[in-house]
Amino acid sequence: MKFSVVIPTRDREEQLRECLRRVMPQAGECEVIVTDDGTAAQKVVEEFPNARWVQGPRRGPAANRNCGARAAGGEWLIFLDDDCLPESGWLAAYRAAAIDNVDVLEGSTECPLKDEFSFHEVVENLDGGAYWSCNLAIRRARFEELGGFDEEFTEPAAEDMELAWRMRQRGLRRVFVDPARVVHPARGQSLAGLMKRMAMHRWVVLYRIKTGQSRGVAALLAREIVDCLRMTYQLLRERRRPKGRAMAVCARWATLWLFLPYYACWEIRWKRLKK
């Protein structure tokens, strides 16, 4: 068996059902594994006889993906998020691109109508280099050599960034496969949800510590301000400024001063825990 599709999920039955409706007609001899950190996905998977359900460890998405990988038997592991919708030819494109001298395949991820959204989380990978785990294939042998996803990341934030960093450090050979395309709908967020998302930036702090990019609290302050300035500059250069992007930049500036002390505390805490 050459390919195993691993779909991590948690309490998103409708999204998972629609995802499987897109995946299963393409699967052929490939195995499809749904690794479930919740309680309800098993009944959904039973609607698709050729898919397999496994119980996840309930320690976050990194551990859940690793659980699915351990249950898989394919030479290649394809990670697909449960709220992504593969287009026709998605799996065929991966099959065609999986040649001998390649270790990692990135499929394209796009968000329709992204310019129309405000206070929505938009995930896209249109040119490669992001290594987003929502649509990513990697040789099983390379994945195991890397040790899989880092399970210290117990929430859905920065765990794929950290794996991508290790892929680059190892010099894995990557190909961007544009026809292996999935649609990633924008995720609506309330103001409370936006604040929660900003709070989860503490995992990015951990990522920077693990990858040697942390230079103390003063550097953290400078980096966050530079990030905001960069986002603002990019927005102002666009002739047609997407409403969603403009709202995201405004929200980033508005919450920066609230969250900087929080990030600084987590930087100190992570460093103490790592000693």
Predicted structure pTM score: 0.87
Q: Each residue of 102-154: pLDDT tens digit?
A: 999 999 999 886 655 555 677 888 999 999 999 999 999 999 999 999 999 99
pLDDT at 233: 81
CA dihedral 137, 142, 148, 150 (to 10 degrees): -100
Comparing 192 with 156, the larger pLDDT belongs to 156
Instruction: Look at residue 114 in the predicted model and tell me its pLDDT.
Output: 60
Which residue, 208, 25, 41, is CA-closest to 33? 41
pLDDT given at position 116: 54
**What pLDDT sits at residue 240?**
63
Q: What is the pLDDT of residues 199-256, one digit of tens each?
A: 888 998 899 899 988 766 677 677 778 878 887 887 787 666 566 667 777 877 877 7
- Classify strands 135-139 and 76-80 as parallel, antiparallel or unpaired: antiparallel
Mean per-residue pLDDT of the chain: 88
By the 8 A CB rule, do 123 and 184 touch?
yes
| Sign for the pseudo-dihedral over CA of 48, 74, 130, 166 | positive
pLDDT at 268: 85
Domains in the chain, please, with CATH?
3-188 (3.90.550.10), 191-274 (no CATH)
pLDDT at 242: 63
Residue 191: band (very low, low, confident or very high) from pLDDT cuts 50, 70, 90: low
Report yes or no: 148 and 72 within 8 Å, Cβ to Cβ. no
* pLDDT greater than 80 at residue 38: yes
pLDDT of 63 reads: 98
Which strand (E) or helix (H) includes residue 78?
A: strand 76-80
- Could you tell me which residues come within 8 angstroms of residue 110 by beta carbon, excluding any fewer than 6 positions away? 124, 126, 181, 182, 183, 184
Q: What three-state secondary structure class fits 6? A: strand
Q: Could you tell me the two tokens for 201?
A: 């930036």
192-226 burial, b at 16+ Cβ within 10 Å, e below that, comes to eebeebbbebbbbbbbbbbbeebeeeeebeeebee
